[in-house]
Amino acid sequence: MTRALPIALLALVALVALVAGAPVARAGGHIYTYVDAAGVRHFTDIPPDGRRYTISIIQLHLTGRTESGAAYDPALLARASQYDPLIDRAAAQAAVAPALLRAMIVVESGFNASAISRTGAMGLMQLMPQTARRYGVTNPFDPRQNVHAGARYLHDLLQRFGNNLSLALAAYNAGENAVERSGFRIPPFQETEAYVPKVLKIYRILSRTSAT
């Protein structure tokens, strides 16, 4: 039987996990959310049949900050499902995995569409101004424009680096030229060396969850 969890309890669990930096022991290790036919949102630790997951509780114990420089906000992560249709469309059009886009958004902005970094990266996928212009983005804080541009950029990076996902992610973080100057290896930058495995870890979690 599905056990619904109050929103306040979910936020508390997430906050405790964030502060403690330790995994939360729950059945299945994940929190799922869905809206029923009456429009009521439910939170549960059992995968709802036929409904999309939103966020893994494993993600909610992420420590540190997003690439934008902001702390992870459990409320934003809990509302991540609002972007599911957008992410799925962008992923399909760019021929990239939707779970990969979600993982990148978790790491880049923590689903904060208004995020802006100290280097000027903006929005959900933290587009740099030159990247936004390159892909015709007029408002980088518009989730639709931002995610579609980020998905197309990721596709282009995968093509450029022979579908090597680690190198494509490194290029997304540090720039294409940095990867090439490093001999087509992950550049020896502390931020990039942390970024790539972090995205890949969340990608694996989301890929497993979406397959349940």
Tens digit of pLDDT for each residue in 81-99? 889 899 999 999 999 999 9
**Residue 108: active-site member:** yes
> Could you tell me which residue, 111 or 206, shows the higher pLDDT?
111
Quick one: how far is CA 115 from the chain centroid? 13
The predicted pLDDT at position 80 comes to: 82
Active-site residue, selected from the candidate residues 67, 108, 176, 191? 108
- Phi and psi at 70, nearest 5°, equal -90, 150
Query: Whole-model pTM?
Result: 0.74
User: Structural domain boundaries of the chain?
Assistant: 65-210
The set of residues, in sequence order, having a beta carbon less than 8 Å from that of 116 and lying 6+ positions away, is: 68, 122, 123
Q: Which two tokens stand for residue 146?
A: 């931002």
Position 113, amino acid: A
Decide yes or no: CATH 3.40.47.10 for domain 65-210.
Answer: no
Mean pLDDT score of the chain: 79
